[in-house]
Each structure stands twice: as C-alpha cells, then as structure tokens.
Chains A and B, each alone.
Chain A
C-alpha cells in the first residue's frame, strides 16, 4: 500500500516528495481510510466461545445426472458430501482445494444460491438451509458474494453506479444523502474514482472491475462475504492490491470472510483458519500457522509441497511429494478415504473405511487414518 511505501521512503531517507499525488491515481489501492489503520496490522484471533456467525453441518450437494429418453437419474455428482465447519465473527476462513473438490459449490450453498441436498446451514443461529428466495431476501443484506471473473460477473449494460447501487434498490434501503452519494462513497472506499459513477464496466481494467464487484458486495455493509476465487483472474501485481483491499475492509467494517481459492499462498495470506477440501470432503481444518508448519493430512502436505516457490535455493533442498495421477471424478469417488488412490501412506483401512474428521490436536481437525505429525489412527493396518 502506498502508505507503507511512504513509510519506507522516509525510513530509508529517500526524498520522495511527489509520492503522495501519485497515490491519487484511480487504481492505487490506498485510500484515506487506510491511513487510520496502523501500518503493522494486528491479526485478530477470533475469540473462543463466541457464537459462530455461520455454522454448517453435514452439508451435502449432489447434482443428479440424468440420461436416456426418460431422463432417468443414473448417478450424481457428489460435489459436496457432508462437510462441517463454522465461521466465527470477524475471522477469515480460507477454503482451498483442487478443481472438482466442491469448494465453489460449497460457497454457493452457504450463500444459498444453491439449495443443499442435505445438512444444515445456520446463519447467526438461524437455520437458513431451506429458506425460499423470498425468505432469503432480507438475509441477502448480511451475506454477500464476490465472484471470480470480473469480466462476466458485471452486467456490461449497466453503469458502475447502477451496479453498486442495485442492492439498495433490491433491499429498499434509502441511505441518508441518497443512493448516489452513498455509492460514490463506497467507490472511493474501494479505491475507485467516484467520478466514474456513470462509466460502464468495459472501461475498467480487470483489477478495477474486481473492485467494482467488491463495492457491490460491500454496499449494504454485510456481515459475511463469501469470495470465490476473488483474485485468481488478476495479474500478480493487481492481485496484491485486491488482497490488501479485502484486508483493509475487514479491519474497517469488521467483516467476516469465507475466501475460496485454489492458490494456497493467497489463502494462507488472507486466512485465519483454513479448510482443505478434497472431492467434496473437508480433509483438514486448522489455523493457518499450524496448517502450514505441520500439516496433519497427507493431502495438505502434498498440496503445499507442490506449490512452486520463487526461490532458486529451494529448488534443490525442499522435499517434494509428487502425487500420482489426477483428482478422481466426483461422480464415482473412491470408497473409504477419497484420497487413498493417490496417497503414499494408504493401507487397507483407507480403502474401505472413511476416516472421520477428528480433532487430533487442539483446534485442528483432520480426516485421516495415518496423519502426519500426529498419532496414527490405525497403526496396525497393513498396506
């Protein structure tokens, strides 16, 4: 963020008189609000014992596959297959996993863009699993979503003002000073020029469009924002701007995030706790430090060792676990532990019995018979 650069500049004694005006360019991440936040930001630990904002148990979504003349149901894509987790107010839960793991479906289930096949979703203690669209409407104020593709998620025929102002209209909210002023305030807050109120999405760059998407989600000051791959379509340098913006907004408005992404580095950076998904199941759920320092599930370990690291020295020394093959199809997931087909530790029990998601260490849950860095759950089993 520019503020930091200004700090750095003074630290280093470099004369940078014109830095401040340069910050005023429309896409610079910095806005005045950031100035109120101390440079080194504190990561708030969610207070234990507080009511979870979102509680998900046994959440399941199967998409039926129909075939033939009669459109008989011949099977189902088991996109999400019984997952439990909760999200505490003010925290960021990251959800990682590879394609087909069901993370996006999960996002759509908790925002109720999809109706679950089974399980429950509770928001602020209220069961919202089977609410109708009409019943969901008041809740939409509190739960918002940010999508991956800033190009297709904004209606090209609407101006930025209309897009960001739409939630006010839908929810029949009349802010003081009028919608326009409010929208311009939000635009400014997300680092866009409020003068661009009447422009169309195509006039903006990818990063700016994602800011528009964020502004829309932010409009009614929701409690929970579910972001599905919020930065994966953006260039690296822009990605960092958006990540920092999400961070700042969380601080300022006390938002709670569920951030879904395939990029482990991004997820680790933004999250307090992380859920690792594989083929419709949560295989590990832990705070970010322990997850990265001593992963419990072999899949988590493999996933992290596979991330290429921008450091040539690490090329030789680091331990890499190369998984065999691809993720199996969610239409017919392997029996037992779904990861056993690619796991180097798999034994008989893994092929037949599904491991439960257990709290093996304080605050860290994993579903594995032979976890890393924790006591083996089935020590006598043979391969």
Chain B
C-alpha cells in the first residue's frame, strides 16, 4: 500500500456510462498515515455508494475514520501537502459523477472542490477566517469557480445568506464571523458551501458545536436545501439521533471500516452488528420511558496502529465467543448482505440499498440476540 493506485493499473474497467454507476461510488478506500509509531490505518477498506438527492449518514465514534473519509473524498488529505513525510497514503477508488478522483490530477480535483462537491465543518467559528468579512469569504468561494465581477458575486452572496435564513443579509454580509452567533455562522458556512450549487455536500458534524434548538434549525435547513437543490448529502456524526432525522442510508464505522450499512429503517429497526447495538444501548433516549441503566460498550475504541486482529470489535464484543473456531479473533469478517445467504457487499448491486453487516455471528443468532436481548432493553 504505497501512494496512489491508478485505476488503469489494476485493470478495473472504467464504467462506460455514468448512468449505470452511482453518483458517488467509493471502492475499497484506504487512508493510511505513516507515523513514527507505525502506520495509522484511519480508513482501511471502505466502500459505499450514494445517489443524487439522497442523504447518507456516516456514524461512528472518534477515530472511526468517518471524518478522514470525507476529507479523502474532498481531496483534502493531499491538498497543500508537500514533502514526503506528511503525505497520507490513499488507495482505492472514489468515483464522483463518473470521474475517478484518487488518480485524477490534483488541479482537476481542486476545480471540483467547492463547485461539484463542498463541505461544512463542525465548528463554524474556527472554520471561517476571522480576518475576512462573511461576504468576502462567500464571494471568494463563488469567484474561484465563476468568472464574474465582484458586484455580481456579492449579489449572489447576499442571495445565499438570505436563502439560509440570515436576517438583513444585505447588512450582515459585511459582518465579520465573530459578530455572528454560532447558529448564524453555521448558516453562513452552509451558504458558502452551496454558493456554487454543488452536487455533493459533505457535512462533518455540522451541529455538534451548536445548541439543541439551533441544531434543529440547521438540520431543518439542510433538509430543505437538499430538496431544493437535489444534491447528494453525506452527513457525518456521532449522534444516531441526527442521522435518524436526515439520512436515507447509514454507514456505521468502527476502527476504519464499515461494520454495518443499510437504509435508515433497516439500521434502526433491525440492526445487525453488535457495535450498532452497543451504540443504541449506550444512548439515553428521550423518546422512551427512562431505562434504569444504560448498556455501555465495555472497553475503549481500538488503536488504529494496532487494530485488533480478526474482527476489530472483538475485544469489546459480548458475543465474540459465539462464532465457532475462534473466528472473531482470527478472521476479519466481510461485509455481507443480511438475509440473502451472505452476498459479499462488493459484489452486490452498487447502491442497491441492501442491508449489510460485517459480523461472524450467524444470521439466526443475530436475529435471536437482537429480538430477545437487545430490543427489549432499548
């Protein structure tokens, strides 16, 4: 695993017509960071598809690789990285609208950034430049990709600020970020991200730094804007509640890999992976009668340098000893389709909306454990 793997080099056929493949198609993505202590395998073989007009939620805890994935799609691991020592090693394929991004020229990817795909970040205060006016920062984003004069761009900026619900946009356009409240800043960030009508919007923990009532506003706004613009949205969060609000499909990540993937209904109604159960059991629920005790996942998240062998979750899994032959500790479970005799995910229909889990437990055992032990306690 060194450097970029060119698509052509591994003989993977380039999809002939983009119609047949998904709008965003990520195949076996790996993002590794060499450090003095060893290689940090932040993402280690991740595949998923996303169609336009759909929302994908990527859920996981810190260090699960969810943010690293989004930065890989945006090409931000390599942008501005010179010198060999800091370079992240990426491999796999990222297809956006029929174009492979990992093997593309950095300049070509740069031209896509902000125009075809854009991103909003967790903390809008630190993500906006403190020295420039909100308006200027939006104008800048617009003019990189559109050959227009400042006046036109400014009009566009005001229009976007208005669209995301900032009152008196023609005045606030000349404010600095520190003059905005937290919710307003995130709205401005969204305005900036959407100024070029991108087809893919990645929101990395967009509401984590915000208050609950403001979070609700922002989630609402993202939902409305998606309907309006018809873009594909990836929402990255640790909060299962947030994905339940927004996502059509969900990818649950653990230790740099996808452990479960499916539609929101599948994940919440019939979760298959013990880690997903753990996440659900750990969350106090406001919508149900208070349970007396939470069901935490024991232990702590894995080191990404020495990812546990076999199933990365096995040291924390209460059912690690159920599968025969000590498989949990020795064999890395593949992502297999639930209930179809276990078609491996990569051979499944791209974006086919199946429900996949990477777990050694047999389907019957999983169903039984979930319905008998987990569900009653959630």
Contact = CB atoms under 8 A, between A and B. Distances in A.
User: Would A and B touch once assembled, by the CB under 8 A criterion?
Assistant: yes
Interface string B290-319: 111111111111000000000000011011
Interface string A292-315: 100000000011111111111011
Q: Which of B183, B292, B369 has the most CB of A within 10 A?
A: B292
Given A25-B298, A29-B298, 9 more contacts: A4-B295, A16-B318, A98-B212, A236-B238, A236-B239, A309-B244, A314-B287, A315-B244, A320-B216
Contact of B213 (A208, A268, A323): A323
A310 B214 CA distance: 18
Contact of A288 (B264, B290, B294, B300): B290
6 contacts: A22-B298, A237-B279, A237-B301, A265-B285, A269-B290, A308-B239
Most central of B219, B240, B284, B297 by chain A CB within 10 Å: B284
A205 B374 CA distance: 27
Contacts of A18: 321
Given A25-B299, A264-B286, A236 B279 contact: yes
Contacts of A25: 298-299, 315
B333 interface: no
Given A236-B61, A326-B183, A243 B240 contact: no
Nearest to A11: B373
Contacts of B217: 322-323
A91 to B, nearest CB: 15
Given A99-B182, A312-B268, A243 B213 contact: no
A83 to B, nearest CB: 20
A263 B242 CA distance: 13
Given A28-B299, A235-B61, A310 B293 contact: no
A196 B318 CA distance: 25
B296 A240 contact: yes
A205 B212 contact: no
Given A309-B244, A309-B285, A312-B264, A1 B293 contact: yes
B106 interface: no
A327 B211 contact: yes
A5 B285 contact: no
A238 interface: yes
A310 B290 contact: no
Contacts of A1: 293, 295-296
Q: Secondary structure at chain B's binding surface: helix, strand, loop or mixed?
A: helix
B292 A29 contact: no
B219 A265 contact: no
A304 B268 contact: no
Contacts of B293: 1, 4, 41, 244, 247
B310 to A, nearest CB: 15
A76 interface: no
Interface string B37-75: 000000000000000000000000110000000000000
Contact of A262 (B182, B212, B279, B296): B212
A268 B243 CA distance: 21
B241 A264 contact: no
Interface residues of B, number: 61
Given A235-B62, A269-B284, A312-B268, A14 B369 contact: yes
A241 B296 contact: yes
Contacts of A288: 290
B298 A235 contact: no
Contacts of B300: 27, 205, 207-208, 238
A236 B292 contact: no
Interface in B297-351: 297-301, 315-316, 318-322
Contacts of B182: 99, 326
A322 B220 contact: yes
Given A236-B283, A326-B182, A312 B290 contact: no
Interface string A1-31: 1101100110110111111001101011110
B373 A240 contact: no
B294 A240 contact: yes
A308 to B, nearest CB: 3
Contacts of A263: 284
Nearest to B240: A310
B212 A326 contact: no
A70 interface: no
A48 interface: no
Contact of A41 (B62, B239, B265, B292): B292
A79 interface: no
Interface in A69-111: 98-99
Nearest to A304: B286
Contacts of A323: 213, 216-217
Given A28-B299, A241-B296, A308-B239, A236 B282 contact: yes
Nearest to A231: B284
Interface centre among B183, B239, B269, B297 (most CB of A within 10 A): B297
Interface string A343-371: 00000000000000000000000000000
A169 interface: no
Contacts of B321: 15-19
B282 A237 contact: yes
B280 interface: yes
A307 B282 contact: no
Given A5-B318, A264-B286, A310 B213 contact: no
Nearest to A320: B216
Contact of B278 (A41, A237, A244): A237
Contacts of A314: 244, 287
A346 B219 CA distance: 25
A266 B290 CA distance: 10
A193 interface: no
